[in-house]
Structure 1
């Protein structure tokens, strides 16, 4: 009888420990997502300020590239390579692509947004954005899907479900 009680206690302890581990892992994952989204918000705000400063109420900027080059020269030594001319240009493009902050999805990170803003077709970009969120694609997976022309293959396909099944790794191509 005593052995049965001890076995039950061990089982309960093991279950308890597993539950605590899941809480820790979940919290860590949430913390990473939260930091990623704060970074996305920072780049959006920077893009907005760069765009506003360039435009100064005009339809086209007079000194856009100089502004970004000078800004990069000033802030990169203090804040690092994440603030290079190229990165700041991405910030501006990010704001131009997503001018409403509420349209920016917290499920996507900066690397994913950098991929999305480089897609020149609005429908195509929107498709990849929705698929990345709905399928929890990593940046690497999103890049793979864009490079494999999933959107174009779907548009050309008569069997869209089959193409999607391959994209979602539900089916292996022959």
Structure 2
């Protein structure tokens, strides 16, 4: 009977996999159809480019002829999308079968080729749904990673051309936790923030990025009669190390960094396996002073990081201004 149950389970998995593959295949064929329609419209439009309104006239004409027979997928607005699709992605062989038309329609709106390349690579690698990809775009993931890395490094990690060797290549600052549903102006305790993270663990893992898995909450450490509790413990298979989080709802202090350093030392000396890399500690705080972080830690520090959390999605302008400020600081140091 057990053999029959296993056989049934295997067949069910085969059916589910085949259905998923069929859906992906049909959706990719639809994506290719829209690309080819966009190509034809664009090429025809170029032939009549001496007429300023020829493009709109052509798309309007096609829409009026196609919509009655094939439906709203060929409306004036959608045909414009298909033309823009071709203009944004002019090489058909570069299209990824893992991405749906809705993925591509979202990517078309991005104003930078580097951004599009980054989100395509990450979506393909992590099998992001449209909703997950949109959330990462809206949270300015690409710009946040640029705050502590150069563009080439960010793109290389996304393309799997290099493995991250520095925690800053993965860890984001700030972290955007709008999915927790907490309001900035509301009073809440560290345990409330921790509980909200556990309740929304899947979204938190998505925000953390590649390779993270949850290990423990309120990990107890017993030191000569005194008990201490680490808020959250994760493991990252890419960095091959434990990553521990301390949560502070106030502005970071040097005492907070000292506490986190003790936890990291404990993990390195007691918990870490021989083949694993040094433990990383992340202080997740409501606010921070970068100078305090810099002078509270050794100059060669690579294992203690401070990341400020935001409870609302940041604007692109805010992050771009922050990037410019970081570049100016870096340039002033090099002068």
What is the TM-score of this pair, normalised by structure 1?
Answer: 0.86
| Aligned twin of 1:160 | 169
Gaps of 5+ in 2: 150-167, 176-204, 213-233, 235-244, 246-283, 285-308, 310-335
| Cα deviation digits, residues 36-81 of structure 1 (max 9, x gap) | 0010010001001000110118599751111112211221122111
Q: 1:46 to 1:61 in 2, by over 3 A?
A: farther
If each structure's strand is expressed as a fraction of its own residues, which one has the higher value? Answer: 2
Q: Report the structure, 1 or 2, having the larger helix content.
A: 1
How far apart in 1 are the matches of 2:50 and 2:147? Answer: 38
Instruction: Choose which of 141, 153, 157 in structure 2 pairs with 1:150.
Output: 141
Distance 1:94 1:61, change over 3 A: farther
1:133 aligned residue (124, 129, 137): 124
Q: Which has the larger radius of gyration?
A: 2
Structure 1 runs (4+) deviating above 6 angstroms are none
Give the Cα separation in 1 of the matches to 2:25 and 2:84.
23
Q: For 1:167 and 1:83, how far apart are their aligned partners in 2?
A: 39
| Cα-to-partner distance string for 1:126-153 (whole Å, 9 max, x where unaligned) | 1111111011011111111111110111
Unaligned runs of 5+ in 1: 1-9
| Cα distance in 2 between the residues matched to 1:167 and 1:100 | 33
Q: Distance in 2 between matches of 1:32 and 1:155?
A: 36
Q: Which structure ranks higher in relative contact order (CA pairs < 8 Å, sequence separation ≥ 6)?
A: 1
Equivalent pair of 2:85/2:108 in contact (CA under 8 Å):
yes
Query: C-alpha separation between the residues in 2 aligned to 1:66 and 1:73?
Result: 11
Counterpart contact for 2:48–2:54, Cα < 8 Å: no
Query: Which whole-Å CA distance do the structure 2 matches of 1:133 and 1:112 have between them?
Result: 11
Provide Cα deviations, 1:85-140, integer angstroms capped at 9, x if missing partner.
Answer: 11111101111111111111111000000011111111111111111101101111
Q: Does 1:23 align with 2:11?
A: no
Deviates more, 1:162-171 or 1:47-56: 162-171
- Please name the residue that 2:42 is paired with: 51
1:91 to 63, 78, 82: 82
Count of residues paired in the alignment: 165
- Report the Cα distance in structure 1 between the residues aligned to 2:146 and 2:74, rounded to whole angstroms: 38
* Cα RMSD after superposing both structures: 2.3
